[in-house]
């Protein structure tokens, strides 16, 4: 893809990873300060570098990767690996497409991606944390007077960028929870058996049933421990699914509960 196409891709990525633009602004500011060149030059060099990484990838292929990230079919990379991740996933998709016998992987269940295992927030934590969560604020970043000129990266203002106060809220929450509970037995979030009907879920369910009856055996005949999904079953009425957007998970959950009340 060319530079214009790359910029379009960067905007599309920013829509699924709102903190990306902020990260990028900080990166450019730091690099510009330490290299003694203007931010415009630094930004152009960054674009050139990403362009080199993505020279063999088309805009459509890149957009398809972002669409899959958005749907949770592949993970959102650490921002520094943005271009490499797009390249890797695009080439992988191309490889799969050229071997139609393997087919392109689509998932029956977006929650567990057909692994039978879904990551969920611990319902005890979710219930106990409600009041603490009220103390955390998330506000849209005010573009006017912001020291990072966000408009430069997102001139159409299509992206809502948030600032969470305090920024350390998730690690604060972890210490708060640890001080209240036996954190080994009660983590903030954990894996659970999905409630879908994919093949892996069915297999794990059988293994879990065996475990619960006390006759789950390892290949050498010894009593085996829990299968990989753990003991819990996912219940959409009790536990929010854990995604990369922790604030959004809890915010959405509490809002839904308030609406139902």
Task: Note the residues at the interface with Zn ion (CB under 5 A).
Answer: 109, 111-112, 194, 196
Least Cβ distance, residue 231 to Zn ion (angstroms) = 17
The token pair at 256 is 């839904």
Which among 132, 258, 110, 113 has a CA at the least distance from the CA of 188?
Answer: 132
Radius of gyration of the chain (CA): 22
Which of 22/242 has CB closer to Zn ion?
242
Least Cβ distance, residue 127 to Zn ion (angstroms) = 24
Which of 10/118 has CB closer to Zn ion?
118
Least Cβ distance, residue 224 to Zn ion (angstroms) = 23
Least Cβ distance, residue 112 to Zn ion (angstroms) = 3
Which of 18/72 has CB closer to Zn ion?
72
Helix (H) or strand (E) run with residue 133 in it: helix 123-134
Which among 133, 1, 139 has a CA at the least distance from the CA of 57?
Answer: 1
Which of 154/249 has CB closer to Zn ion?
249
> Alpha-carbon distance 161 to 22, whole Å?
8
Which of 63/111 has CB closer to Zn ion?
111
| Four-CA torsion 162, 148, 77, 14, nearest 10 degrees | 70
Least Cβ distance, residue 8 to Zn ion (angstroms) = 33
CB atoms near residue 208 (< 10 Å): 20
């Amino acid at each position: 893809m060319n530079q214009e196409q790359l910029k379009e891709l960067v905007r599309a990525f920013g829509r699924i990873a709102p903190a990306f633009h902020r990260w990028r602004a900080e990166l450019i500011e730091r690099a510009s300060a330490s290299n003694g060149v203007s931010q415009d030059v630094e930004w152009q060099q960054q674009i050139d570098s990403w362009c080199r990484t993505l020279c063999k990838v088309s805009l459509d292929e890149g957009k398809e990767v972002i669409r899959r990230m958005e749907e949770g079919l592949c993970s959102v990379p650490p921002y520094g690996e943005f271009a490499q991740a797009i390249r890797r996933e695009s080439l992988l998709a191309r490889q799969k497409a050229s071997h139609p016998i393997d087919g392109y992987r689509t998932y029956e269940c977006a929650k567990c991606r057909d692994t039978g295992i879904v990551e969920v927030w611990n319902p005890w934590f979710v219930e106990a944390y409600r009041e603490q969560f009220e103390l955390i604020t998330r506000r849209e970043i005010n573009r006017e007077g912001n020291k990072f000129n966000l408009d430069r990266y997102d001139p159409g203002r299509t992206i809502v960028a948030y600032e969470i106060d305090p920024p350390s809220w998730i690690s604060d929450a972890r210490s708060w929870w640890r001080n209240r509970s036996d954190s080994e037995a009660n983590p903030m979030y954990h894996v659970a058996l999905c409630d879908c009907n994919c093949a892996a879920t069915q297999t794990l369910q059988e293994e879990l049933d065996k475990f619960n009856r006390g006759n789950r055996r390892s290949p050498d005949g010894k009593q085996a421990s829990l299968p990989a999904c753990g003991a819990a079953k996912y219940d959409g009425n009790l536990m929010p699914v854990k995604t990369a957007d922790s604030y959004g998970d809890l915010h959405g959950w509490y809002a839904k509960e308030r609406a139902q009340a």
